[in-house]
């Protein structure tokens, strides 16, 4: 079993142009999930994290965020303070996708017997979606049976940007409640196990 956590870093939790109170509120449930998993014997923890080039093409769609070498691109202190943080594998990414031009496939290839992947973090409709779907579709494409990808809904969320605020910032509106639910549903349609929480 492995825990896969998307973008629990400074630039989405507490600083920068894409920081969100909804994402910051994920910190306690994500810390709890990792802590309980470790107590139950899980030793595989993969953190996929935006670590952008200063001129990343992604910045044409979103404001500059999580640039390599800045505090925004660093794992939040609530995770680095965990006594088992030395088990974390950090996968740096320059796009929404966890495996394009990253070390993610090499990590997955090194653990071919992993049969359960639990996905947490942000954002439900962006990086969490890409991470969970990649784990599901990679195994589908390889005809690997018996692999479970699980998303606990209480440990994922996305940011909210109402129309007025979006116009003011030059961004597209982002209705968080709607997108959170739609993308959880879409993941479920693709064979990902979406659950309320993991007790």
- What are the pLDDT digits (tens) for 74-111? 999 999 999 999 999 999 999 999 999 999 999 999 99
Q: What is the pLDDT of residue 16?
A: 87
pLDDT attached to residue 172: 86
pTM comes to: 0.95
The CB density around residue 17, as the number of other CB atoms within 10 Å, is 13
Closest CA to 19 of 34, 31, 4, 7: 7
Q: Which candidate, 112, 119, 157, places its Cα nearest to that of 138?
A: 112
Yes or no: say if 117 and 2 are a contact pair by the CB < 8 Å rule: yes
Average pLDDT over residues 118-136: 98
Instruction: Give the pLDDT score at 90.
Output: 98
Q: Could you tell me what percent of the chain has a pLDDT over 90?
A: 87
What's the confidence (pLDDT) of residue 18? 86
Q: What is the mean pLDDT of the chain?
A: 95
> For 115-140, what is the mean pLDDT?
97
Whole-number Cα distances in Å, 94 to 27, 36, 54, 136? 23, 30, 10, 21
pLDDT score recorded for residue 63? 85
Give the residue-averaged pLDDT of 130-144: 97
48-73: pLDDT as tens digits: 999 999 999 999 888 889 999 999 99
Instruction: Give the domain CATH number at 55.
Output: 3.40.50.850
Which pLDDT score, from 0 to 100, does residue 188 have?
A: 98
pLDDT at 169 over 80: no
Report how many domains make up the chain. Answer: 1
Q: Where are the alpha helices (DSSP H) in 67-103?
A: 77-80
Domain region containing 160: 2-195
Percent of the chain scoring above 70 in pLDDT: 100
Residue 117 confidence (pLDDT) above 80: yes
């Amino acid at each position: 079993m492995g825990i896969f956590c998307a973008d629990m870093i400074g630039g989405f939790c507490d600083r920068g142009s894409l920081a969100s109170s909804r994402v910051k509120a994920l910190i306690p449930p994500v810390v709890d999930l990792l802590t309980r998993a470790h107590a139950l014997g899980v030793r595989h923890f993969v953190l996929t994290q935006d670590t952008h080039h200063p001129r990343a093409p992604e910045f044409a769609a979103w404001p500059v965020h999580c640039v390599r070498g800045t505090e925004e691109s660093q794992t939040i202190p609530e995770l680095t303070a965990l006594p088992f943080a030395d088990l974390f594998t950090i996968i740096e990414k320059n796009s929404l996708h966890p495996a394009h031009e990253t070390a993610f496939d090499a990590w997955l290839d090194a653990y071919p017997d992993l049969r359960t992947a639990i996905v947490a973090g942000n954002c439900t409709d962006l990086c969490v979606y890409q991470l969970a779907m990649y784990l599901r579709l990679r195994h589908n494409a390889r005809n690997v049976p018996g692999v479970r990808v699980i998303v606990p809904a209480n440990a994922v969320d996305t940011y909210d940007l109402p129309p007025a605020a979006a116009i003011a910032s030059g961004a597209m509106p982002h209705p968080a409640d709607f997108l959170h639910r739609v993308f959880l549903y879409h993941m479920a349609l693709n064979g990902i196990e979406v659950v309320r929480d993991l007790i």
